[in-house]
Amino acid sequence: MTSEYSEMKQAFYDHLAPTSPYPLAIEVERAEGIFIWDKKGKRYTDMVAGIAVCNLGHRHPKVIQAIQDQLEKYLHVMPYGEFIQAPQVQLAEKLAELLPANLDCSYFVNSGAESIEAAMKLAKRATGRVNFVACHRSYHGSTHGALSVTGNEQKKFHVRPLLPGVSFMRFNHSEDIDLIDENTAAVIIEPIQGDAGVRLPDIGYLDALRIRCTEVGALLIFDEIQTGMGRTGSLFAFEQYGVVPDILCIAKALGGGMPIGAFIASKKLMHLWTHSPMLGHITTFGGHPVNCAAAFANITALVDDGIIDEVEEKGMLFEMLLKHKNIKEVRRKGLMMAVEFDSPETVQRIVKSCLERGVITFWFLSDPKSFRLQPPLIISNDQIKECCAVIIGCCD
Ligand code: PLP
């Protein structure tokens, strides 16, 4: 480490566990709307929204107000499920109001991976089966169960053995649906694959999965951790495909910047936790009242302020502006976008030069030839034009 590092940066490298040899290492001073400022006053336009988290932008006033109001009342009072805490109840009620009738019961946890773990347990409890079918190039989280159904061998080989009984289908290959059989507890799938580089389902593919699951008595779990909360132009992506899962996993943008996840199913399924054994799934901090209050304000603003209604149009503007001879493809639904180039090296170069010019983009876990654009949904058309001009400038 050289002396040009600030004390804070030095301590970051000395004492925080790293996840990569090349962190972006922006020293954050503050964040507001679609912008992040560093300690030196440089302003960055955040085109990844903390990886599909800050859908309302950073520090949305309604979310901040809800957090402040709850801070005045109580913080943690009891592990999940025992006391009646208004922020939890209001959030669960709101979700039930917005979701199809069979998704009327929410269990709040702390993260995406945790919601996947619990959904897998619930599927085992409900079916008495232990096998899962997932997709190649999927990402469902970094814990052992979630990793077991993640279709990225690079992330798994060093921690085997993982869960047995997991088979992998190729996304959009209807011929692989035969892997789902009478021994399958659940199929777990992102309706739009995120870290595979934004892969949209073909017409009829999700329907075929739904039909097969119903046929063999397997549950269908949709991982909408990345696609949820308006990102794709509807509150949840599955609404656009007319296919309803048995269990819905959400997290990331749910809390408006606060850490909260949920898995949502029918009351009948959820009641399995209460017996044989009771306390079948427990969490100390899941459904923290401050996070639930933030999530309630977040979801209310997303829906009531018409923000989701504009998402697809904004996505179309991006697509129109991101035209350059070096851009091979833009894959997109709403404001969930992948921009593909000829090689991983080109992607690395463009991500780096965008950052130098104050635009934050980021890579995918399973698609080295593309980078992600997932801006806050509140981005204006003028801001989209400015950002695209920078990106196109970096493509030359
Ligand atoms: N599922 C999907 C589709 C994700 O994109 C992610 C995170 O990127 C996860 C699950 C895991 O969520 P978390 O990082 O909150 O555990």
Predicted local confidence at residue 5, as pLDDT: 79
Distance 195 CA to ligand 1 centre (A): 9
Q: Whose CA is nearest to atom 7 of ligand 1?
A: 141
Counting from 1 in the atom list of ligand 1, the atom nearest the Cα of 138 is 3
Predicted local confidence at residue 3, as pLDDT: 55
Pocket of ligand 1 contains residue 231 by CB under 6 Å: no
| pLDDT tens digit sequence for 91-125 | 999 999 999 999 999 999 999 999 999 999 999 99
Burial of 222 from C-beta contacts in 10 A (0-12 / 13-18 / 19+): buried
| pLDDT tens digit sequence for 347-378 | 999 999 999 999 999 999 899 999 999 999 99
Distance 251 CA to ligand 1 centre (A): 8
Sign of CA dihedral 307, 309, 315, 316: negative
Residue to probe by mutation, ligand 1, list 143, 155, 225, most atoms within 8 Å of CB:
225
| pLDDT tens digit sequence for 234-270 | 999 999 999 999 999 999 999 999 999 999 999 999 9
Predicted local confidence at residue 301, as pLDDT: 98
Pocket of ligand 1 contains residue 87 by CB under 6 Å: no
What are the CA-CA distances from residue 382 to residues 92, 142, 262, 313, 317 (Å)? 36, 37, 35, 13, 10
Pocket of ligand 1 contains residue 374 by CB under 6 Å: no
Predicted local confidence at residue 379, as pLDDT: 98
Question: How far is the C-alpha of 242 from the C-alpha of 142, rounded, in Å?
Answer: 29
Q: Whose CA is nearest to atom 15 of ligand 1?
A: 112
User: What average pLDDT is seen over the chain?
Assistant: 97
Mean pLDDT value of segment 158-179: 97
| pLDDT tens digit sequence for 231-243 | 999 999 999 999 9
Confidence of residue 81 (pLDDT cuts 50, 70, 90): very high
Pocket of ligand 1 contains residue 194 by CB under 6 Å: yes
Decide the pairing of beta strands 329-333 and 261-265: unpaired
Mean pLDDT value of segment 78-89: 97
Distance 227 CA to ligand 1 centre (A): 10
Q: Return the structure tokens found at 136.
A: 């190649």
Counting from 1 in the atom list of ligand 1, the atom nearest the Cα of 111 is 15
pLDDT-above-90 percentage for the chain: 98
Distance 112 CA to ligand 1 centre (A): 5
Predicted local confidence at residue 255, as pLDDT: 98
Asked whether the predicted pLDDT for residue 216 surpasses 90, the reply is yes
Q: 43 and 358 in contact (C-beta within 8 Å)?
A: yes
| pLDDT tens digit sequence for 6-22 | 899 999 999 999 999 98
Predicted local confidence at residue 1, as pLDDT: 45
Contacts of 20 (CB under 8 A, 6+ apart): none
Domains of the chain: 4-56+307-395 (3.90.1150.10), 62-304 (3.40.640.10)
